[in-house]
Amino acid sequence: MWIKRIMLFVGGLFVMSLGVGLSIKSGLGVTPISSIPYSLTLASGANIGITTIIFNAILVFLQIPILKKRFKSKRLLQLINTVMFGYFTDLSLWILSPMPGLPLDVNFTLLIVSMFLIAVGILIYMPANIAPLPGEGVVEAIS
């Protein structure tokens, strides 16, 4: 049972990261949760995977003062998600790297496909119920 849940979770994260990679390759925008890491990448020249890991790790650690005694150690599993998602984003961009510059209509199609892949990734990983991504975790902690 756990193996199936872990496989669904990891598979869902990869599908989501492929969607993020396609949105970056389209040149027409990125998902909200990837916008800050992507902006940091553009400003600093750092790797998108590293900026994703750093940004999401900050979101995990922000949950500690928000939740105080209600912070459960299970929430630290989000750090594993963070590393996997950052790595998968880099892997997705590497897989997509041979893709040349494309016309606007094709880039628009890539953006639409990226949104679909992100939604499918969420649909796959959420039922595994292992740990939320840090963006969702911090919103949950605030609420």
| pLDDT tens-digit readout, 95-140 | 999 888 888 988 999 999 999 999 999 999 888 888 888 988 999 9
Amino acid in the structure at residue 1: M
State residue 32's pLDDT score: 83
In angstroms, the CA 92 to CA 132 distance is 21
pLDDT band at 20 (very low <50, low <70, confident <90, very high): very high
Indicate whether this model's pTM tops 0.75: yes
In angstroms, the CA 14 to CA 84 distance is 8
Residues 6+ positions from 37 with CB-CB distance below 8 Å = 48, 51, 52, 54, 55, 56
What's the rounded mean pLDDT across residues 3-8?
A: 92
Is residue 43 helix, strand or coil? helix
Query: Can you say how many angstroms the Cα of residue 24 is from the centroid of all Cα atoms in its chain?
Result: 12
For the chain, the domains span: 2-138
Average pLDDT score over the chain: 92
State residue 12's pLDDT score: 95
In angstroms, the CA 95 to CA 112 distance is 19
- 100 DSSP assignment: -
In angstroms, the CA 132 to CA 143 distance is 14
Q: What is the CA radius of gyration of the chain?
A: 15
State residue 74's pLDDT score: 86
E strand or H helix that includes residue 125:
helix 104-125
* Predicted confidence (pLDDT) at residue 67 exceeds the cutoff of 90: yes
